[in-house]
Structure 1
Amino acid sequence: MSDLSKRFFPARLPVLVVLALLPCLLSNSCASSRSARPAYAGKNLSSEAEVDYQFLIYQDLARQGKKDEAIKALSDLAASHPSPEVVVELANVQWGQNDREAATQTLEKGLAAFPGARQLTFYLANAYQMRRMEDMAVKTLERFLEKNPADAPALQELASLLEDSGKHEQALAVLGRIPEKDRDATVLYLRAKAEAGHGRKDAAMGTLRAAVAKDPALMPAWADLAGLLEQAGDLKGAEDCYRKMLSLGEESPEVRARLARILIKQKNPAQAVSLLAEGAPDKSRFLDAMSALVEAGYPRQAKQVLGLLTALDPDSPDLPFYKAVLAYEGDKNPREALAILGRVPPENPNYDKSLAFRIQIASEIGDFGKAAGLVREARQRYPDRKEFISVEAALLDKRGDTAAAAKVLENALAASPDDVDLLYRYGVALEKLKRRDEAKAVMEKIVAKEPTNPDALNYLGYSLAEEGRDLEKALSMVKTALEKEPDNPFFLDSLAWTLHKLGRANEALAAIERAIAHKVKDAIIWEHYGDIAAAAGRRAEAQKAYRTALELGPDSPAAVKKKLGAL
């Protein structure tokens, strides 16, 4: 909300106010506005001068840090000389003190007193929106538009609100009501957002190009255009957009980070590193680029970015971890990563993380003795840290002692019976031990505590699908899990398998294809793909899926071979 004194009061004080304040300016007798006010409030000031004077008192109190007195002065002003501007300023102060309900009530009362005030309408609608009261925000703007149907700013505000609420088609309809002469670059940008949200991405790109043609400095439009071009596979076009933003003076770290990723995708890692070195040092940007370079297979350039990061903060306690990640992920040298982490001293604030990482690496390379020793150290140093209980259980399970893992989790749950993470791990352990009724009871307990817990819902839904019963309930559970994690390949597999059991072959095939697109190395998912493809008459795909499942080591190789042979 804006500075009221600049926008709604004259730059020069009225003569009477200056005269009234003159004694304070010439002596120390006016130590505070509180003492000044009684002495001069009784003067025969004009209404405008009185407003200005009281507002100056409010400002003085605010400068002195007397927040309660300042709000009282502003509230008195709003009561004695109400105006949309004073109401907005009072609401602004209340909002700044995190009293959002009071701010909203102030705006509601103000709009009731001044029903045609556009500024109050916009502020109240925004207050509703920020409090997640979207319906009230929409109604507020619609009431204003009933009397001002061609008000372009109000239409634009309503369209923006609808777009933010995901109502893309309604937003487009409102934008269409804006007169042609008022359709500036911002209106075009809003239209493009609504088009993209409605799935019309080609149209959105065309509209965004029109928006930046009208206003080349509209940075959000350039950024959204770059994002859509990247999604469409036009990496060069996306690069050009980000470079245009830089040439126009946009120097936010996010722009350079996105451009660096685009360059890496185009196999230009050296350019990406140069770009990062040219801009202002930024830790998050460097870390993002390191991750992208490692993922793309450029460990040498990732180390160069680590050099930039080291120069930025040579004493950072995080540096050993970045080096270890590069050794582990970039150089594929887990033992070197272990050695780096082993040099992290216990006084390092991230020593707990170093232990967790070392346990993970030691377990993955099969050094279970070392991993067990590190687990013991972690449990001794951090006896109340539940994540190390989970780590110990996971290590025991990996060593083949699932019963011992379940016992560790059972003991932990005796002290923390409502810990959802421990409950889920315990349920999985019970499932592996073929204690399925107990596992199901644990997962149902989780859902009773957290009705939208995605992992437990997926487990229960998949279990029902496997048993071939309550398939509609199973489908509902899996879909709810996917609302939380829409790209989880295991949840997608559960969806596909449930649809397969329901006889919805085409939907099942689409879902399993989304699951394997994540390049998962899971024999069960690939076996499911084979079953679903075979049912859909896709013989070649089914053969490939079964062969992949066999390579990954299914629980029953003979059964998979039999399916493959039957094709």
Structure 2
Amino acid sequence: MAYLKYSRVLCGIVAFLLLVTTACSRSAAYYMDKGNQLYARGAYADAELNYRKAAQKDPNNGEALYRAALAELKQNKPLAAWQDLERCLRVIPDNKAAQRELANLLLGGFIGDPSRPQAVYDRLVKISGEWLARDPRSAEALRIKGYLAMLEKRPEEAVTLFTSGHEANPADDKMTLGLMDALYRSGSAVRAEKAGLDFIAANKSAADVYDALYRLYGETGRPADAENILKRKIQENPKDTGYLLQLAGHYAGVNNRAELAAVMERFLASAGGDPQAHLKSGDFYASIGDWANAQREYSSGIANSKDKLTYQLRLARLLLTQNKSQEGLKLLEQTVAEHPEDQYARTLRAALLVDLQSGTKTAEAIQDLKALVEKSPDDTFLRLVYAKVLVQTGDAAGGQAQFQEVIKKDPNSVEARISLADLALKRGAAAEAIQHADVALALIPSHVQAQLIRGSALLRAGRYEESGEALIRLARQVPELVDVQLQLAYVSLAKQKYSEAETEFKKVWDAHPQEWRALGGLVDTDLAEHRPEKAVARLEEELKRTHGAQQVRSMLVTTALKSGRYNMAVEQLRTLADQTPDSIDPQLQLSNLYRLRGDLDGAIKILEKAATLQPKDPRPGTMISFLLEQLNRKQEAKQSARHALSLHPEDPAAMNNLAYLMAETGDNLDQALKLARQATGKAPQVPFFADTLAVVYLKRNQNDEALEILDKLVRQYPNNADFAYHAGVGWFQKGQTTRAKTELARALQLLPTKETEAGIQELLGRVN
């Protein structure tokens, strides 16, 4: 028995050694062949892995590097492909196919980079020159030179180059596309159209040329021809059902809902046994912002597809996009129960479980999500979820930074563009909101939220006529959308058409008695007409009708403050605090009211009570530290600021507050500098954070660094006394007393606070 046991072990060892030996003995040719098979099946990631193994076996295998680059291009990894092509050409300098792919990459990168790198330009000129020297009719060389001529605004020369290339290579679709582009830019749209039509007459499957004709018709105002060229593309290529989705996209853009629905029915009917038909349909509807139909298609996939998980995750993403947290969480709980190993589902569920009031658990969940994003930096959806969680938990600056990272990786991310537009609108940056919304609408012209944000931003920017036109168009598209009706009413209010505004707000209010924004619009109209007594009476009447609704009482507080009825505001805030014992927002408002009345000690007492009610909320501590600083109790203020930061360590406002107090008290300027840099890094658009960083530099006697910041602030915010004062300090510390005196004198004229005024006077005395 012992012998038998020993022999079994020996056989196992031998088998293992044979397996290892076989694996180790696999040649580069084996991996090349396997890579080619995988590439042919469309498994590009696995193909790339095998090509890379072939290159490891034989470092001089340039073909393996070339094939790896092709697989990387299929996966949209241009940088990795470029590196492999460069390595390939070092091994096989005469590999024509690799040269062509590298030239295409360089040309595409050069066209897409607004900075037009000189090194890339020189490389393209060199490559095209060498090819033309070998073959004066080289299609690749003429195409490169043609595009360079177009970029340098020499369209006639570009036409000549592309015409030569087209005559030599009439079946080359890339050359035809270049010729069409050059002709259009030179003002010959008719000839550009003819070149495209001639090409597809002989090459009926040339998808890119159909698309170029579609763009041409769109840019020349010929929507019927644009529609017909897509229909022709479908007719000539009946097996490619994806072209039906392109036609549906056209109908979405021109708001032809009936034709859109008909085409989508045709798509599903012609999909045959395609297991991803509902997935493609759902993705299409999601891309145009039609959440209801997208949800219907994903739900159909869950019910009918074998790949249930894919549809569940898509639907969860859709629900997240619409902020339907409860529905999304329910679906993800089910998905995780069925697929406990799926990290993606677990991540989405973790994001949904982030709760504003959960303190430490919230911070832990955010850190987990952050770690996952860092592990998969190219996963733009994970980054979008992370960005939304940051915004949800109060870190708007951090969320904005993550949305911007998404844009860097995917400039066509409509969701990131819209989120950035929304954040910009909320902080009053109307021009930035319009810019992001315009990009989103260029990608999806019918997108409802993008149109709404753009119309609202135009209103905020004072461009009332444009805002009205944009919102009226949107109202025709979605007449039932209350947000559009409210914004149109605010356009009337901005134009001082008070009667129209009141009628429009009342229409919404009558149809939707719980739509508090309509009531707010009516109150705003009363105040704009200088009738605060009517606004107060309206709200008091609604307060009785709704039996003391919190939303109405909050509006009454705001209206009382605007009309100077401070006692009423205090009374209503106290009642509101009793109504909402689990919320500290009324106490925060009440403390702010005490501060405005000059009762700082009373404000602090209210905030201390709020901190007791919600010990994990950093807001009371942050506000207390601000008030203590005003009372010149800076050591206590600093202690309160430290506590607030410990509750919310990623909050840039808390970082900034503590950094400023540390600088003012001369306490650990290295730590103050670190905090100030972190705050400005998270929220570079907040001027007061930049000012704090400058103050820290001044305390460290780094005057050049401080003045670099302060010069910008003084130019951008010429009416801010603190910025002018700090600039004066910087110039004084540099020994330039004349400039210091100028800034300090200007700061005095800007009505500074008493504390700032005392500092200015003291420094002016030293200057004089």
Shorter-chain TM-score above 0.5: yes
Change beyond 3 A, Cα 1:535–1:435: closer
The count of corresponding residues between Structure 1 and Structure 2 is 410
CA offsets, 1:277-315, max 9 Å, x none?
133245455667777x69xx9443798688667667742
Alpha-carbon distance, 1:469 to partner: 4.3
Of residues 74, 77, 82, the one that matches 1:158 is 77
Aligned to 2:760: 560
- 1:388: which partner in 2? 586
Residues 1:428 and 2:347 are matched in the alignment:
no
Per the alignment, do residues 264 and 425 of structure 1 end up closer, same or farther by CA in structure 2, a change over 3 Å counting?
closer
Alignment match, 2:523: 324
C-alpha distance in 2, partners of 1:352/1:543? 51
Question: CA contact under 8 A between 1:261 and 1:289: conserved in structure 2?
Answer: no
Aligned residues of 1:527 and 1:560 also touching (Cα < 8 A): yes
Shift in Å, 1:188: 6.8
Equivalences for residues 36-51 of structure 1 within 5 A: none
Aligned positions of 1:406-417 closer than 5 A: 406-417=604-615
Partner of 1:49: none
Contact kept in structure 1, 2:45 and 2:71, CA below 8 Å = no
Is residue 607–residue 624 contact of structure 2 (8 Å, CA) maintained in 1? yes
Would the aligned equivalents of 1:478 and 1:491 in 2 still touch at CA under 8 Å?
yes
Residue aligning to 1:269: 464
**Aligned with 1:344: secondary structure?**
helix
Q: Which 10-residue stretch deviates more, 361-370 or 395-404?
A: 361-370
> 2:644 aligned to 439, 446, 456, which one?
446
Instruction: Encode CA deviations 1:36-91: one digit per residue, 9 max, x unaligned.
Output: xxxxxxxxxxxxxxxxxxxxxxxxxxxxxxxxxxxxxxxxxxxxxxxxxxxxxxxx
| Cα distance in structure 2, aligned partners of 1:122 and 1:268 | 50
Q: Does 1:503 align with 2:701?
A: yes
Mapped to 2, the partners of 1:370 and 1:157 lie a distance apart of 62
Check 1:121–1:491 CA distance in 2 against 1; reply closer, same or farther (3 A cut): same
Structure 1 residues 253 and 466, CA, compared in 2 at 3 Å: closer, same or farther? Answer: same
- Out of 356, 376, 383, the position equivalent to 2:554 is 356
Instruction: Assess, with a 3 A threshold, how the Cα gap between structure 1 residues 533 and 383 changes in structure 2: closer, same or farther.
Output: same
Match of 2:112 in 1: 191
Q: Structure 1 residues 288, 184: closer, same or farther in 2, change over 3 A?
A: farther
**Matches of residues 9-408 of structure 1 in structure 2 within 5 Å?**
116=39, 119-121=42-44, 146=65, 148-151=67-70, 154=73, 157-159=76-78, 179=101, 191-192=112-113, 216=215, 250-254=445-449, 256-257=451-452, 260=455, 269-279=464-474, 280=477, 281=479, 282-284=481-483, 298-300=494-496, 314-315=511-512, 316-325=515-524, 338-345=536-543, 351-363=549-561, 365-408=563-606
Partners of 1:551 and 1:440 lie apart in 2 by 28
Q: Deviations over 1:471-522 (max 9, x none)?
A: 2321110111123322222211101111223333343233224445664865
Matched position secondary structure for 1:300: coil
Equivalent position SS for 1:511: helix
- Consecutive unaligned residues of structure 2, counting only runs of 5 or more, are 1-33, 57-62, 88-97, 118-147, 153-177, 186-211, 219-248, 254-410, 421-430
Deviation at 1:337, TM superposition (A): 5.0
Cα distance change on mapping 1:503 and 1:366 into 2, 3 Å:
same
* Deviation for aligned residue 1:160: 9.5
Give, in whole Å, the separation in 1 of the partners of 2:673 and 2:105. Answer: 46
- 8 Å Cα contact 1:320-1:344 kept in structure 2: no
Q: TM-score, normalised by structure 1?
A: 0.55
Contact 1:393/1:404 (8 A) holds in 2: yes
Q: Match of 2:753, as an amino acid?
A: P
2:666, 2:749 → 1: CA distance? 25
Letter of the 2:73 counterpart: A
**Cα distance between partner residues in 2 of 1:438 and 1:414:** 17
Quote the Cα distance in structure 1 between the aligned partners of 2:466 and 2:714. 33
Instruction: Write out per-residue CA displacement over residues 187-238 of structure 1, whole angstroms, 9 at most, x where no aligned residue.
Output: 6799359989xxxxxx9x979x98998573799879999x9xxxxxxx9xx9
Instruction: Quote how far apart the aligned CAs of 1:351 are.
Output: 3.8
Give yes or no for contact 1:290–1:302 (8 Å, CA) kept in 2: no
Partner of 1:465: 663
Deviation at 1:463, TM superposition (A): 1.6
Q: How far, CA to CA, are the matches of 1:389 and 1:206 in structure 2? A: 61
Deviation of the 1:466 alpha carbon: 1.8
Match of 2:581, as an amino acid?
Answer: P
Counterpart position of 2:291: none
Given that residues 637 and 661 in structure 2 are in contact (C-alpha distance below 8 angstroms), is that contact kept between their aligned partners in structure 1? no
Deviations 1:312-364 (A, max 9, x none): 77423320113334555x66876665455444336659942343343244335
> Matched residues in 1 for 2:505 and 2:45: separation?
44
1:551 aligns with 2:747: no
Amino acid at match of 1:560: I
